Amino acid sequence: MSEITQRKEEHLDLCATEAVAFRTKTTLFEDVHLVHDALPDLDLDAIDLACAIVGRPLSAPLVIAGMTGGVPRAEVINRDLARVAQKHGLALGFGSMRPLLERGARDGYFVRDVAPDVPLFGNLGLAQVLTASDDAITHLLGETDVNALCVHLNLAQEVVQPGGDRHFRGGLARIAHLAATLPVPVIVKETGCGLSRAVGVKLRDAGVKTVDVGGAGGTSWVGVETLRARAATRALGEAFWDWGIPTAASVLQLRGLGLDVIATGGLSNGVDVAKAIALGARAAGIARPFLMAWQEGGVTSVSERVEGVVLELRTAMALTGSANLADLAAASTVCGPTLARWTP
């Protein structure tokens, strides 16, 4: 088994447990309060959840966020998740496609036969796009038939990871080049540490239209690597386990920049999704709860979990008098003092 394959197998095992959660830091969605409308002029079943991401329509503002790929288990997981996304009209993200790029490992990256209409998001790390050629990246996108490329930023994870990447110089310029030249849109995403307003401005000015905040409060990828780490980096990982911008705070930081924001990082239900949209997100991504549902009961359990999230979102919209997502984005919110301090 290659080092990359072993690492990704360990990631799946660890992310199925509570051991990799942030220890003290939360998403801060508990600090967001939607103002109740006791007299909404709408019918629950008529509420419109439709939206679009990277120009692709969704039946609800929900992404099954990228979790895995390139290992044997990923084949059945991603194909099952793709079936759920197709059934419910959602987007689906792949885990890192580095195994396919560097070793030709195909497991979990070819799902179009079961998800012909699903917006698919490819995924490469900044370190990989810095070294891969334009032609290699374009070929990867074409053979997997994805609709966008997520370039993930994971500096904190890499520093703690044994043998992780250390060279990120030139990243913004490379992202700007890819955003201008690739045949599909680029989504820049963090992986658990969030995006600040300053970084959002840089990405917008570089031509990026869509970002995924990947905020703190859910799975700590520093924590994942800390549990895998040798003694040389384990102490470093312990020190930075809770590093990052809480997810709700990151969404708030990016408000008003003209970016389409996907909120991921610790969201677990439709109320969190509603709060994220009220703070300025266009859509939200959920990962670990769907992985756990898959482990409990495969496609059926994941589909039921999606239905629950959608019902919770629809109910939150009814209780705020929101007939559609534009209404929800304009709905009144009250932010507690901790989150309010993050207001730009």
Place of tokens 């992986």: 191
Q: pTM of the prediction?
A: 0.94
Strand partners, 224: none
Lowest mean pLDDT among 6-15, 54-63, 234-243, 296-305: 6-15
Which tens digits make up the pLDDT trace of 103-156?
999 999 999 999 999 999 999 999 999 999 999 999 999 999 999 999 999 998
Look at residue 173 and tell me whether its pLDDT is greater than 80. yes
The dotted CATH code for 3-340 is 3.20.20.70
Tell me the domain boundaries of the chain: 3-340
What token pair was written down for 257?
A: 């920049």
- Return the HEC string of 123-162: EEEHHHHHHCCHHHHHHHHHHHCCCEEEEEECHHHHHHCC
Which tens digits make up the pLDDT trace of 151-172?
999 998 888 887 777 888 999 9
Q: How far apart are CA 165 and CA 157, in angstroms?
A: 9
What token pair was written down for 334?
A: 């009250």
Q: How far apart are CA 331 and CA 65, in angstroms?
A: 26
CB atoms within 10 A of CB 172: 17
